[in-house]
Amino acid sequence: MSSLQLNGCRIVTSLNVIRGCSRLGVASHAWLCRRNFAAIIGAMRTLQEMDGHGGVAALGDWHGNTHYAVRVIRHLASRGVRRFVHTGDFAYDFRPGFLRAVEAELKRFDADLAFVPGNHEDYDYLESVPIDDDGTGRISERITYLPRGVRWNWDSRTWMGLGGAASIDRVHRKQSAPGKQWWPQELITAVDVQTATAGGHVDVLITHDAPSSVHLELPPFSWIPPEDEAAAIEQRSMLERVVESVTPEVLVHGHHHRYQIARALTGSGHEYLAVSLDCDGSPFDWNSHLVA
């Protein structure tokens, strides 16, 4: 992507050409096609430029639920929140209608949203999004994709995103196109762990899954195939290794559709605040947490 500065904000344009799909116009800038990274022309803020711009709220799973997402944004933005960090299972299949509605509500309040990927997320689409110099991907003017291990500074604190998790319902999801519902890229890898730990300490860690030291009261899932249960346990163990290495003060996650706030203690003795967020359909206060 190329960029220029205008009134303190970058103007970003993609060199890709829209082919085979229609543009979804909002205000005066172009939109992303569902499958092709279309031209983006509009003023946008980088994560660095968002620093200090209103309050910060973390958000739990939305699964592309347009009506719920818009109402949560409105609820929090009316209380001064201008920066949203989503813990994944954000858009699922990235339908244009969902993105358009979320973008419009964010723009209404001069707010921005950044998200880590969940497990129920179209990774084929995310891999088509060009990555900018700061390590992030631009979905639209107000929506930013946070690949695994991306760090940034807000309010004199270091933040990091590390999305991904294992789908315990994988066997019930279609694994090929058309109508694909599961992507193997959902899993955090050893390379992701290495990337995340290379930079040392962070103050706030945003994840999709919960590390092993976060104790959640979850119902028994006797129907889960043993290999998928093992994968889920391993993913939490990998996150635990990251937590022990980067020693966050606060960790916020989604995925398990349970709301709780508790102190957690790693095996190495690091104590941190663990915020577990519920999903779409839950009370707004269970789906969100004011981080700053």
Query: What are the mean pLDDT values of the chain's consecutive 10-residue runs (292 residues total)?
Result: 36 31 33 40 79 96 98 98 98 94 98 96 91 95 98 98 86 61 84 97 98 89 79 94 98 97 97 98 98 90
> Which parts of 166-257 are beta strand (E)?
204-207, 250-253
Render pLDDT for 235-289 as a digit per residue (tens, 0 to 9). 999 999 999 999 999 999 999 999 999 999 999 999 999 999 999 999 999 999 9
Backbone angles phi, psi at 229, to 5 degrees: -65, -40
Render pLDDT for 78-97 as a digit per residue (tens, 0 to 9). 999 999 999 999 998 899 99
Exposure letters 140-163 (e unless 16+ CB within 10 A, then b) = bbbbbbbbbbbbbebeebbbbbbb
Identify the CA nearest to 32 among candidates 46, 16, 11.
Answer: 16
What is the span of the domain harbouring residue 154? 2-290
Q: Enter the tokens of residue 86.
A: 């989503």
Rounded to two decimals, the pTM is 0.84
Q: How many domains does the chain have?
A: 1
Identify the CA nearest to 64 among candidates 102, 91, 101.
Answer: 91
Longest dimension (CA), the chain: 57
Identify the CA nearest to 158 among candidates 266, 252, 285, 250.
Answer: 250
Q: What DSSP character marks residue 63? A: T
Q: In CATH, what number is assigned to the domain containing residue 231?
A: 3.60.21.10
